[in-house]
């Protein structure tokens, strides 16, 4: 094998080189700016993590599994997984093999960017070499893999149901240019390499094409034209890359080490959040997952993929609208391929909205000082029903009955109105204002002298777990507590006949990871019916306080859709463990009764 051109250069490589240099320069500038956006502590943490062997191993594994093989996507949707990984991994292998070829045969050209890419144009094959034909075979093999992926990608645009997707990302113009140039790259490479296959060698993909082309297009000018086209496609793709969703390819390389370094999202559009936003490939998994799609077709434009796009475009009105509308159920984050923390980003966007009227909670101190919960006769268990539960009296009543049945001495933290836990404020992006509420509630809880705080509202529960520092007080959701009581034999529950479908409240399930306690306890009272989408996949009831702007009509459409999922297997009743879910689902249901967790247990004691 030897070089065909002594100069080792042909003008057709220019489009590619322009694109390549542009991308590299862009990425370099972006990286420097990004580092500037991190705080000194974060920066130190990030760089230090790059040299910890355990982290290096994790980074390599994650980059390999997430970026190239798309393992997470395979698990979720094998067809989609194959489509993405065939292109990503195939391309990676072609570039890698190109470099190996260059290194093996023309080591003095190894420094040139374009040589491995256009290797076949510059080389002439003399005789057959084993390693040469093995490499040729591998090159053709991966080209075939990529082409199959592209074929699937084209088919996906026509018939997305084949991939089990109801909706795919609607692409912007620049994304479309990127997409079409990406699609064009590999067929053009195939043709270009086909033209030179008789000279430079080829394998099962390129040689048949060579025969075909030579039979009617043997004019040597066609050869250069094909290579030009290939190079232009590459150049176009790279030039639009920084402005399209394909920026996710370089961004993910930074995202993974940053994530493994343990960085957190602290600003909506800077630092780590920016890397996450740029890493969103717009794969569309979040669009189908988003409960907003149930509210109406146009509401599916509120999914995280579009949020990332609007932030990339710097369109403040649009991204604020999307951020305000979100239910904050966390499903997009749970299914996201790049673990885009869209919930934090949305919260931080909400925090940036200016308000003229500041909150003032000074009035709470007199309530706290008046001894909201008497410190006399301290008992071990304190029960906080929360604001919402007052609207669903069946919950506090059933909880109290169960506590009485189990002979637990307890006190009520809010028999007559309560101070809000503060989570609604945090969800509305006013977290600094929530501090006052946290302080007041903490004082009330500590002054009661309790050891266990039972909470029946998942919204409060998550708040107590994440934002409160309650030393010496164990916070338990009532599902956990009653599950424990049943397990310890302190609460006897009679097995019934009912077939129960359990709805995971977002804040309890995805928010706090409590899936099994309520199911265990409920299966003591009835038989659980599987729900098509449950646990991590469960669909928000639509009542969530997370959304600021969703109208009541849109919410009820989501509730109807959520209920449809719950009643898919024909349960006798739907059970949930959240006052807001209970109210929303009960309002939406006209056939299957919706009951509370404690209510069901109460009926079986």
Partner 1 sequence: MIITDFGYCLAPSNAVKVDKTTDWRFEKLCALESDVLKCIGCGSCTAVCSAGHFSQMNLRQCILSLSRGQWEKSVRSLSRCMLCGKCLMVCPRGINTRHLILSICRIYCPGEGGSNA
Partner 2 sequence: MINKNIVIVGGGPAGLEAARTLRNAGLTPILLEGSDRLGGHLLEWDSLFPSNQKASEVLESLTADLEGIKWFTNSKVEEISRIKDIYLVRTSSGYTFQANAVLLTTGFSLFNATLKQELGYGIYDRVITNADMERYFATGEHPCIHEPKTIGFVHCVGSRDEKICNRACSKVCCATAIKQACHIKEKFPLAQVYCFYMDLRMFGRGWEDMYYNAQTKYGIRFVRGRVCEVSEGMDATLNIKAEDTLLGKPIRMKMDLLVLMSGIRPRKDTEDIASNLHIELGTDGFYSPRDPFIRTNESSNEGIFLAGTCTGPATLPETFSSARSAAARIIEYLESK
- Give the footprint of partner 2 on this chain (CB under 8 A): 390-394, 396-397, 416, 552, 556, 582-583, 586-587
Question: Nearest approach, Cβ of 507 to partner 1 (angstroms)?
Answer: 13
Which residue from 310, 256, 261, 260 is spatially nearest to 279, judged by alpha carbons? 256
3-state secondary structure of 181: helix
* Separation between Cα atoms, residue 42 and residue 29, nearest integer Å: 19
Token pair of 368 as six digits: 């706290």
The residue (of 388 and 528) whose beta carbon lies closer to partner 1 is 388
Q: Which does 452 bind (CB under 5 to 8 A by kind): partner 1, partner 2, none?
A: none
245's CB contacts (< 8 A; 6+ apart) are 169, 171, 175, 178, 280, 281, 282, 309
Q: Which does 354 bind (CB under 5 to 8 A by kind): partner 1, partner 2, none?
A: partner 1
Token pair of 437 as six digits: 């509420």
Which residue from 509, 445, 490 is spatially nearest to 472, judged by alpha carbons? 445
Q: Which position among 425, 529, 540, 541 is part of the footprint of partner 1 (CB under 8 A)?
A: 425
Each residue 34-63 as x (binds partner 1 by CB under 8 A) or -, in order, gives: ------------------------------
Cβ atoms of 214 and 220 within 8 Å: the answer is no
* Separation between Cα atoms, residue 517 and residue 504, nearest integer Å: 11
Question: Nearest approach, Cβ of 538 to partner 1 (angstroms)?
Answer: 21
Q: Which does 182 bind (CB under 5 to 8 A by kind): partner 2, partner 1, none?
A: none
* Separation between Cα atoms, residue 516 and residue 441, nearest integer Å: 29
Q: What are the distances in angstroms from CA 352 to CA 20, 75, 302, 569?
A: 37, 37, 19, 44
The residue (of 527 and 556) whose beta carbon lies closer to partner 2 is 556
Q: Which position among 303, 428, 577, 598 is part of the footprint of partner 1 (CB under 8 A)?
A: 428
Residues 526-545 that bind partner 1 (CB under 8 A): 545
The residue (of 64 and 367) whose beta carbon lies closer to partner 1 is 367
Question: Nearest approach, Cβ of 428 to partner 2 (angstroms)?
Answer: 22
Cβ atoms of 41 and 145 within 8 Å: the answer is no
Residues 314-353 that bind partner 1 (CB under 8 A): 324, 353
Question: Nearest approach, Cβ of 605 to partner 2 (angstroms)?
Answer: 17
Residues 381-420 that bind partner 1 (CB under 8 A): 387-388, 390-391, 416-420
Provide the strand spans (E) within 66-207: 123-124
Strand order in the sheet with 594-596: 527-528, 499-503, 573-576, 594-596
Q: Which position among 53, 111, 354, 570 is part of the footprint of partner 1 (CB under 8 A)?
A: 354
Q: What are the distances in angstroms from CA 461 to CA 327, 487, 541?
A: 18, 22, 18
Contact flag: residue 249 with partner 1 (CB under 8 A): no
Question: Nearest approach, Cβ of 479 to partner 2 (angstroms)?
Answer: 20
* Separation between Cα atoms, residue 349 and residue 299, nearest integer Å: 19
Identify the DSSP state of 572: S
The residue (of 504 and 554) whose beta carbon lies closer to partner 1 is 554
The residue (of 390 and 568) whose beta carbon lies closer to partner 1 is 390
Contact flag: residue 430 with partner 1 (CB under 8 A): yes
* Separation between Cα atoms, residue 486 and residue 549, nearest integer Å: 41
Question: Nearest approach, Cβ of 539 to partner 1 (angstroms)?
Answer: 20
CB atoms within 10 A of CB 533: 15
* Separation between Cα atoms, residue 192 and residue 567, nearest integer Å: 56
Q: Which position among 112, 361, 379, 406 is part of the footprint of partner 1 (CB under 8 A)?
A: 361
Task: List residues binding partner 1 (CB under 8 A).
Answer: 324, 353-361, 363-364, 366-367, 387-388, 390-391, 416-420, 422, 424-425, 428, 430, 437, 545, 548-553, 580, 583
């Amino acid at each position: 094998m030897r070089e065909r051109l002594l100069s080792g250069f042909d003008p057709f490589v220019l489009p590619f080189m322009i694109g390549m240099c542009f991308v590299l320069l862009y990425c370099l500038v972006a990286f420097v700016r990004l580092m500037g956006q991190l705080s000194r502590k974060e920066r130190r943490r990030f760089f230090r993590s790059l040299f910890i062997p355990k982290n290096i191993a994790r980074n390599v594994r994650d980059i390999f599994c997430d970026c190239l093989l798309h393992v997470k996507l395979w698990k979720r949707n094998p067809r989609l997984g194959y489509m993405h990984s065939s292109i990503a991994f195939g391309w990676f292998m072609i570039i890698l093999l190109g470099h190996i070829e260059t290194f093996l045969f023309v080591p003095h050209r190894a420094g040139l960017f374009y040589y491995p890419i256009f290797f076949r144009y510059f080389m002439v094959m003399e005789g057959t070499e084993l390693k040469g034909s093995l490499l040729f075979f591998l090159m053709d093999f991966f080209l075939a893999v990529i082409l199959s992926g592209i074929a699937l990608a084209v088919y996906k645009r026509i018939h997305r149901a084949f991939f089990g997707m109801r909706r795919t990302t609607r692409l912007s113009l620049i994304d479309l240019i990127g997409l079409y140039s990406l699609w064009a790259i590999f067929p053009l490479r195939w043709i270009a390499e086909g033209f030179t296959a008789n000279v430079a060698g080829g394998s099962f993909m390129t040689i048949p094409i060579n025969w075909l082309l030579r039979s009617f297009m043997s004019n040597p000018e066609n050869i250069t034209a094909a290579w030009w086209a290939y190079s232009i496609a590459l150049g176009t793709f790279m030039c639009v890359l920084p402005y399209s969703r394909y920026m996710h390819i370089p961004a993910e390389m930074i995202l993974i080490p940053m994530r493994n370094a343990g960085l957190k999202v602290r600003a909506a559009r800077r630092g780590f959040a920016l890397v996450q936003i740029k890493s969103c490939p717009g794969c569309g998994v979040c669009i189908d997952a988003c409960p907003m799609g149930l509210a109406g077709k146009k509401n599916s434009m509120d999914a995280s993929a579009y949020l990332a796009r609007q932030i990339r475009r710097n369109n403040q009105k649009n991204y604020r609208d999307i951020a305000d509308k979100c239910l904050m159920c966390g499903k997009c984050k749970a299914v996201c391929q790049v673990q885009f923390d869209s919930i934090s980003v949305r919260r931080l966007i909400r925090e940036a909205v200016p308000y003229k009227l500041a909150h003032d909670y000074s009035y709470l101190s007199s309530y706290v000082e008046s001894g909201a919960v008497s410190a006399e006769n301290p008992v071990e268990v304190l029960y906080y029903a929360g604001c919402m539960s007052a609207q669903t009296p069946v919950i506090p009543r059933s909880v109290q009955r169960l506590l009485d049945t189990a002979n637990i001495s307890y006190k009520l933290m809010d028999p007559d109105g309560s101070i809000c836990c503060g989570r609604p404020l945090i969800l509305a992006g006013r977290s600094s204002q929530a501090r006052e509420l946290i302080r007041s509630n903490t004082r009330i809880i500590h002054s009661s002298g309790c050891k266990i705080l039972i909470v029946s509202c998942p919204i409060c529960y998550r708040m107590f777990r994440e934002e409160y520092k309650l030393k010496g007080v164990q916070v338990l959701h009532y599902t956990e507590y009653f599950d424990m009581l049943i397990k310890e034999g302190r609460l006897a529950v009679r097995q019934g006949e009912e077939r129960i479908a359990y709805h995971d409240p977002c804040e309890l399930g995805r928010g706090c990871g409590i899936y099994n306690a309520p199911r265990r306890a409920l299966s003591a009272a009835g038989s659980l019916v599987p729900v098509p989408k449950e646990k991590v996949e469960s669909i928000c009831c639509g009542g969530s306080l997370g959304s600021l702007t969703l109208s009541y009509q849109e919410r009820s459409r989501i509730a109807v859709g959520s209920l449809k999922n719950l009643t898919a297997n024909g349960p006798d009743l739907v059970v949930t463990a959240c006052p807001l879910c209970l109210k929303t689902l009960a309002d939406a249901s006209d056939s299957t009764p919706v009951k509370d967790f404690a209510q069901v247990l109460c009926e079986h004691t």
